[in-house]
Amino acid sequence: MEQLIFEVIKPGSFIEWEIQDKDKWHLTSLILNLEASFFEANVALNFFNSELSSLRDMMKHNAEEWNRASEIKIQLYEKYSTLPFDERYFKVETEAKKMMWSEGYLPSSLNRKNHLLYAKMFLYSIDSFLKTCEVMSKAMYKPTQTLIDGIATLKLQFPHLTPVRNAAHHMEDYVRGIGMIRGKKQEIQLKPINNNFVNSESGALIVNSLNGNKYSQTMADGHLGEIEVSAGSLETVRVVFQNILDSYNWSGHKQHLPM
């Protein structure tokens, strides 16, 4: 599958900004973190798209796997025919799985985790990008208006980003229906859901799920939050990143990213 590469131009090698030397060093480090977070999201997106593409071939693979598993289980049931039913069932299932694994068939429960893992990686990377921008907006770094506008753009385009990330990072609470509101843990009051995934007037607790290319998670306020893992989402971030870089003064050679 074609790999997407999102290009950015760094206007120079060194940032030239009239702030204290320590703050300038911090600002340089923050910009490097923007770069790291952005390209981590790029990597996550490519892995996510590749995984979704491979899922389209899964029906053929599943039929193949099911046939092979059936062959193995028939042999094992004959081997353990004298055992009580429960013990025989457990032995057959356990040995059949191990034999399948040795032949290169991965457990389906692990295969299904890949695209979810990449979606969360995308979510965390975009969240890190936004948080870094917010630190850069502190007065000591003399933030540009472009940076302030970029933060507003990200919050407008990804209104669920922070609450979804918070939920994803605290599954030990959210699986119990507990969320964090204004620094206090409390029971989540579920709100109605109506989309192509769930339709419920009384709401539903959705945790760590995918709806197409959208990472979905019930937020602390009871609404369903979603982050779209897509080229369009990352292009929004790319434009913000490029504008932020262009808003500062630089010295040294321009750089074409990624390296």
Grouping H, G, I as helix, E, B as strand and the rest as coil, residue 200 is: strand
46-95 per-position pLDDT tens digit: 999 988 777 666 656 677 888 888 999 999 989 999 999 999 999 999 99
Alpha helices in 103-230 (DSSP H): 108-111, 114-136, 145-157, 161-168, 171-174
pLDDT (0 to 100) of residue 130? 98
Domain residues of the chain, as ranges?
19-56+112-257
Tens digit of each residue's pLDDT (9 = 90 or more) over 181-198: 888 899 999 999 888 878
Verify cis geometry, omega within 30 degrees of 0, for the bond prior to 258.
Answer: yes
Closest CA to 33 of 115, 131, 153: 131
* Rounded distance between C-alpha atoms, residue 257 and residue 15, angstroms: 16
CB 221 within 8 A of CB 179: yes
Please answer whether residues 254 and 9 qualify as being in contact, where contact means their C-beta atoms are separated by less than 8 angstroms: yes
Q: What is the pTM of this model?
A: 0.88
What's the start-to-end Cα distance of the chain, in Å? 21
Non-local (6+) Cβ contacts of 169 within 8 A are none
pLDDT tens per residue across span 206-227: 999 999 899 999 999 999 999 9
111: its two tokens: 């295969």
8-state DSSP, 247:
T
Q: Taking the C-alpha atoms of 195, 198, 204 and 210 in order, what is their torsion angle to the nearest 10 degrees?
A: -90
Q: Do the Cβ atoms of 220 and 162 come closer than 8 Å?
A: no
SS3 75: helix
d(CA 231, CA 44): 11
Task: Enter the DSSP assignment of 194.
Answer: E
- Selected residue with higher pLDDT from 51 and 172: 172
Place of tokens 């959208």: 214
- Of the given ranges (79-83, 102-106, 108-112, 238-242), which has the lowest mean pLDDT? 108-112
21, HSE (Cβ side, Cα atoms, 13 Å): 0
Query: 126: closest CA among 148, 152, 155?
Result: 155
